[in-house]
Structure 1
Amino acid sequence: MARTIPLMIQIATGDPRSITQQIVDAVRRQIAAGELAVGDQLPSVRGLAQQLMVNPNTVAKAYGELSSEGWLDARPGLGLYVATPRQRLSDSERERRLDDAVQRFVSDVIGLAFPAETLVARVSEELDALRPKKRA
């Protein structure tokens, strides 16, 4: 039987992203980093909403988005579980999202006047930090 894994998520009130998006991004990051493994059970909607002190509808919306994208499997009457990895988006959608993210990143950092090498190194460090970690 799968164990329920507590989600270590912090909601930042000054973050321009919605609370729903912050939850979605945090769960995606934890799955990508191996902090949540295939088959791990996530907290209930009500449980996570109480933990984060947010409306349960916000958590339900985030969980719904993660399920529709294939990150989570909903098992009726049992809860939500981390899904088996698969290509969640078409190649063209993946390219479109990458292009959008790169454009946003460049727009955000262009005024900081860092050399391109510094930016590339920092992005590489962040991606390395997300490589799946071994779990006990």
Structure 2
Amino acid sequence: MPVATLDDTAEASLTVTEETIDAYADLTGDDNPIHRDDEYAAETFFGGRVAHGMLSAGVVSAALADLPGDIVYLSQDLDFENPVRPGQTVTATVTVEEDLGDDRLRVETIAETEDQQALSGEAIVMSVPHESE
């Protein structure tokens, strides 16, 4: 299996539902009512229930895993730009922007819904050949 190189891209998508949000909250223990309580969330500046920002970031992780080679996350900077609501699909796109040497790459990371950018940032990953090759 080859390793990721400059300009390689990958994409992953997830349709967010109330059940997805509840499962993420159960898994992480993040029970913030802005994510789980319709009545509470309706009174916030979001005007309704929204997904955890890190749920969208998880879609970025899934896209990184689709780059060539074995991908090891080293760091991630993120700007959360817009909320993701139940019923929206988050699509993450990652693009290798720079070879940093020593198997390390700088990767642009973006997650969008149908109508807006949800988050952006950059990751530093290692891309190494699969050991069986």
Identify whether the pair has TM-score above 0.5, normalized to the shorter chain.
no
Which is helix-richer, 1 or 2?
1
Which is strand-richer, 1 or 2?
2
Per the normalisation by structure 2, the TM-score is 0.27
Per the normalisation by structure 1, the TM-score is 0.26
